[in-house]
Amino acid sequence: NLTHGDVRQLAVTLTSPDGKVINLFGTGVAGKFGTHANLVNTVFDDSALTPIQNAPSPIPSGPFNPQLPLSVLNGSGAAGVWTLTVRN
Q: Is 12 exposed, middle or buried (0-12, 13-18, 19+ CB in 10 A)?
A: buried
Q: pLDDT tens across 15-74, in order?
A: 999 999 999 988 656 555 556 678 889 899 999 998 887 877 777 788 999 988 999 988
How far, in Å, are 2, 28, 34, 52 from residue 9 at the CA level?
Answer: 13, 9, 11, 15
